[in-house]
Amino acid sequence: MNIHFTEQELAFREEVRAFLKAELPADIAAKVRLGKKLTKQDHQRWQAILHRRGWYAANWPLEHGGTGWGVVEKHLFEEECAAAGAPRLISFGVNMVAPVIIRFGTPEQQAHYLPRILDGSDWWCQGYSEPGAGSDLASVKTRAVRDGNHYVVNGQKTWTTLGQYANRIFCLVRTDPEAKPQAGISFLLIDMDSPGISVRPIITLDGAHEVNEVFFDDVRVPLENRVGEENDGWTCAKYLLTHERTGQAGVGISKAALAHLKAIARHEVIDGRPALEDPLLRQRIAEVEMRLMAVEMSTLRILARAQAGGTPGTESSILKITGSEIRQAISDLARRVLGPHALPFLADEMVLEHEGEPLHADYSVTPAAQYLNLRKLSIYGGSNEIQKNILAKAQLGL
């Protein structure tokens, strides 16, 4: 098994680096490096740049406007983007619903929705989780009842990330309440401006408005907005989740965050010396870095197998668990290095345009908020506890 990059792959890495150096806006990169908030316009601007280069839909086949890249090219692209400070793509459209439409959608659905995802006409959000159905997704209760050429949808979704910006939502809805839980679900594409939809913000621990509740009150959805067969939405749901978990190891993001942590530790002082020279801190950073190196090697090993025609198995659960723990550990160390300077964070300072003096240093503004925000990593995309159950059953036979 060869886990070394070929000459062609190394040349591709240099091509990506040159593109990022020339095209990535400096103001957006500065926000990403300091962990400051990106606006909807920031995301749209970066998407437009990638679309012009033909590099926005890395996971799509060429015939639908994708890059046609292999797994190694996608890995290298994501790693270089993270290193350069490029925003992580909002996945709901390009990397989640689009693969479902490509795999299960009708030609009409593909012709309508895919170009709009590519050019940014549509901003998608995800309607999976409900108050009683998160990790146990098969328990969704949002109902869709046929009425002529429409479904009438009633129910509630929650933890809808960036739903306040979306004009489309893909939803799991229950179309047969008498069937077994996974057998009575359908997959619908719904316009967010449909009468009967309301969005309410949920303010998270870091004071941010990132997630929402979405309510459906007699919302009429045309039958042609269903993807796949009625009551077979679970097939779409499982397929989408495999794409959601792809890349959740976040190796590139963790490498960039680790480099930022070391930079902070060189500036901060403990007992009159740079914090990076503190033996206990050095030990903790080394432990995280060794885990990260192990995850990177595992990722490359899985990529090599995929290139040879294999498919990822339960390794994706291992990468999800370990990758989320590493990112959380790095954010924890960053706030510990700053000590009391990490305690206060002001909402106004979370945007790059803030003109006031930082309470300590520019890099001290965001670590506390990031630490709180990254608690979500071990929950979404299938909680780490669920991933451990998968490993226990599939690998250990328990």
Return the active site residues.
244
Strands (E), the chain: 124-127, 143-147, 150-157, 168-174, 185-191, 197-203, 209-222, 226-227, 269-270, 273-274
Contact 42, 28 (CB under 8 A): yes
- What is the rounded CA–CA span in Å between residue 380 and residue 358? 32
Task: Provide the terminal-to-terminal Cα distance of the chain, rounded to the nearest Å.
Answer: 30
3-class DSSP state of 360? coil
Q: Read off the tokens for 244.
A: 């959601």
Block residue for tokens 């929950």: 379
Contact 60, 102 (CB under 8 A): yes
**Nearest one of 366, 370, 361, 368 to 327, comparing CA atoms:** 370
Block residue for tokens 């978990």: 245
The backbone torsions φ and ψ at residue 102, rounded to the nearest 5 degrees and listed phi first, read -65, -40
3-class DSSP state of 255? helix
- What is the rounded CA–CA span in Å between residue 149 and residue 185? 18
